[in-house]
Homo-oligomer: A and B are copies of this chain.
Amino acid sequence: MSTDTVEMVKMNGLQAINAALMEAMEADSKVLVLGEDIADNEGGGVVGVTKGLSTKFGTDRVKSTPISEQAIIGAAIGAAMAGYKPVAEIMLMNFTTVAMDMIVNHAAKLRFMSGGQSQVPMVIRTLTGAGNQTAGQHADFYEAWFAHTAGIKVVIPWTPADFKGLYLSAIQDPDPVMIIESGKTLFVPMDTPVNQGPIPLGKANVVMPGTDLTLVSYGQMMFTVMQAVEELGKAGVSVEVIDLRTISPWDKETVLASAEKTGRLLVVHEAGKNFGPGAEIAATVQEELFGKLKAPVGRLGAPYCSVPFAKKLEDAFLVQPPAIIAEAKRLAAMG
């Protein structure tokens, strides 16, 4: 491999996370993994993300747990404070609700409340996303809650390369990081550098340059966005696409620079629009770029309701390419 050609391989997000965990555990004996069903006796995780880890690193470092989310996060917090780097799985994001005290009142706050004596270098992994008819309690995006909570970082990767790179960084980060695995992003194979190294948290990725409109999104919604952008390109709207990657702290610099250049910004996410992550971005951008925008900052997100079961309703619930195209065109026509 020469220094300028990067050897690529097709893998999906699941494989990328698995590779990151393997690499991190191999390199650093302090890295631990815990969660329900995550060891190989239990199938290496319900979708197989942690497959092979317990066989390779033993069930002392890779522990399946009871169905006890508070105990899972609690054990991770204590181990982290004692010098380990636990990666704790909460099977689905809706189940973070039973561990909110541990996450919010403890993991996120112990460094501050102890005046810096305690550190809690842990990763919380969790999966979510609509599209599989799992209905109201298995598909919510609550990243806005955690972004609103001081002391915990929130990451939502899209590509397998980002999964690998962001996981490597998150595991070595000295503070708690929540990584939200967003539905399809685990399963869609993409070209990925064989030796993908760490990618810094807090940096967005400008996926595609453009001039008429900046479009910010992340997670599995990026697939929808890319479809819409292709259509928009054909319709003569040049879109600069930014994959935010880290929701908190988010990359203001990159977003502001792009929005200033294009004069227009649209934020698209799967989380509810109401009091959602897009609100913070819109509120910040309207302030920082007051008078410099050609259009208001647009936001698209889920409607104000639970995730519905029927496929037809689930499709209506999710932001689809036509809605993005329409909103992008509306904004592009302004100013």
Binding site for B on A (CB under 8 A): 94-95, 97-98, 100-101, 103-105, 108-109, 112-113, 135-137, 142, 144-145, 147-151, 248, 271-272, 274-280, 282-283, 286-287, 290, 295-299, 303-306, 308
Contacts and interface: CB of A to CB of B under 8 A. Distances in A.
Given A105-B137, A306-B112, A147 B274 contact: yes
Contacts of A248: 274-275
8 contacts: A112-B306, A145-B148, A148-B276, A151-B306, A275-B279, A286-B286, A286-B296, A287-B299
Contacts of A280: 274-276, 279, 283
Nearest to A278: B283
Number of copies: 2
Contact of A282 (B94, B100, B272, B283): B283
A296 B296 CA distance: 11
A317 B269 CA distance: 31
A277 B274 contact: no
A94 B98 contact: no
Contacts of A277: 275
A105 B149 CA distance: 20
A190 to B, nearest CB: 29
A278 B280 CA distance: 9
Contacts of A142: 148
Nearest to A282: B283
A323 to B, nearest CB: 16
The 9 closest A-B pairs by CB, nearest first: A282-B283, A290-B296, A286-B286, A279-B279, A97-B100, A97-B101, A148-B275, A287-B296, A279-B283
A313 to B, nearest CB: 11
